[in-house]
Amino acid sequence: MTRTPLVAANWKMHKTAGEAEAFVAALLPRLSSAGADVALCPPFTALAAVVDSARGSALQVLAQNVHEAEQGAYTGEVSIPMLADLGVQGAIVGHSERRQYFCESDRALQLKVPALLAAGLLPLLCVGETEEEREAHDTERKLRHQVQEALAGVNDDRLADVAIAYEPIWAIGTGKVATPDQAQEAIAFIRALVGGRDAGAGERVRILYGGSVSPDNAAELLALPDVDGALVGGASLDAASFAAIVASLPG
């Protein structure tokens, strides 16, 4: 089973529209990623600029969050039809920073993931354990809970259309990257969870690693058998650094 790798840049709350355009102009000539999907996840205010600058290229554009309702009285939120209208192809959902600082709940994810799929958009679902949970040998329990809850509303025949990012919270923005063994073990476990729902989906679903990925450690992580790409935060803010990570994908 060959899965198309995905390397996605999570810019978080960085870059104005102008800075985003300059990034795309610097990135495109550096990309030679035939056979891989490369995505940028800018803040909402730079989505249109990135869609415009990426037009005609294979670069994908994802949002960092989305609301589950089609429309309504949700001040400050953005809907799936609004993203689709801009030409955005998907959204990160359940990032640990959304869960921790903005009360993102499993209940909301149960609605967001199928709503994105129904609209033909890619949900990039983030899961991962805290340092305390890892030390207490609670990693698998946490991952099982998060994966089961977030995918509860997804039909078996759509499971493989979700992309999952395993992001141990202790590795995000800390420079403390998971060891290859830790990343492989957790991602194989997540794959088995999806495979428990539907064996074919377990084979096909793309599962990325995220957490302090850099040009220095990317090749080792991306070569792991169950790792289908990376979700990159800090090291994705510079075009040369992000391009170097994409170039680390096994040929």
Give min distance, CB of 157 to ligand PGA, in A: 28
Residue closer to ligand PGA by CB (options 183, 201) is 183
Residue 70 annotated among the catalytic residues of the structure: no
Tokens matching residue 196? 């428990």
Choose the catalytic residue: 97, 104, 129, 167. Answer: 167
Give min distance, CB of 174 to ligand PGA, in A: 7
Residue closer to ligand PGA by CB (options 42, 210) is 210
Q: Rounded to whole angstroms, how far apart are CA atoms 150 and 135? A: 24
Cβ-count burial 189-209 (b if 16+ within 10 Å, e if not): bbbebbbebbeebbebbbbbb
Sign of CA dihedral 188, 193, 194, 198: positive
Q: Rounded to whole angstroms, how far apart are CA atoms 158 and 160? A: 6
Residue closer to ligand PGA by CB (options 94, 202) is 94
Residue 131 annotated among the catalytic residues of the structure: no
Give min distance, CB of 155 to ligand PGA, in A: 27
Residue closer to ligand PGA by CB (options 183, 232) is 232
The residues near 1 (Cβ < 8 Å, ≥ 6 apart) are: 203, 204
Cα separation values, 200 from 117, 157, 158, 178, Å: 18, 9, 11, 28
Give min distance, CB of 75 to ligand PGA, in A: 26
Q: Rounded to whole angstroms, how far apart are CA atoms 153 and 142? A: 19
Give min distance, CB of 231 to ligand PGA, in A: 5
Q: Rounded to whole angstroms, how far apart are CA atoms 73 and 55? A: 32
Residue closer to ligand PGA by CB (options 170, 201) is 170
Choose the catalytic residue: 95, 97, 129, 133. Answer: 95
Contact by Cβ (8 Å): 60, 86: no
Where do contacts with ligand PGA occur on this chain (CB under 6 A)? 10, 167, 172-173, 210-213, 231-235
Q: Which residue has the closest beta carbon to ligand PGA?
A: 233
Residue 243, burial from CB neighbour count under 10 angstroms (0-12, 13-18, 19+): buried
Catalytic center residues: 95, 167
